[in-house]
Amino acid sequence: MSRYAHQRVRKEAGICGGALRIPEERMPVSFILRCFAAGMSQREVLQAYPQLSEEDLRMALLAAAQRLESDDEASAG
């Protein structure tokens, strides 16, 4: 994950159960993914959670994708 993305999305022991999250908002990436999986649009997520920005949503998706790729590489290798 890029340094910028790491500033926007990170995990720390003891905060949100150590989950990958948007730090300033304590919003787990998994929650954002569940919103999209439930059929919410980007606009609906931002309306429901105005503390989030478009950039937060993009970085959450990027972090999730990179985490999956990392897990895939680890299990393949």
Give me the CATH topology for the region 3-76.
Arc Repressor Mutant, subunit A (1.10.10)
- Backbone angles phi and psi of 72, in degrees to 5: -60, -45
Residue 40, φ and ψ in degrees, nearest 5:
-70, 140
Q: Where are the domains of the chain?
A: 3-76
Give the other-Cβ count within 10 Å of 8's Cβ: 19
Along the 77 residues of the chain, how does pLDDT read in single tens digits?
555 555 677 667 776 766 688 877 778 999 999 999 999 999 999 999 999 999 999 999 998 888 888 766 676 76
pLDDT of residue 37: 97
pTM of the model: 0.77
Q: For residues 71 and 77, what is the distance between their CA atoms, to the nearest angstrom?
A: 10
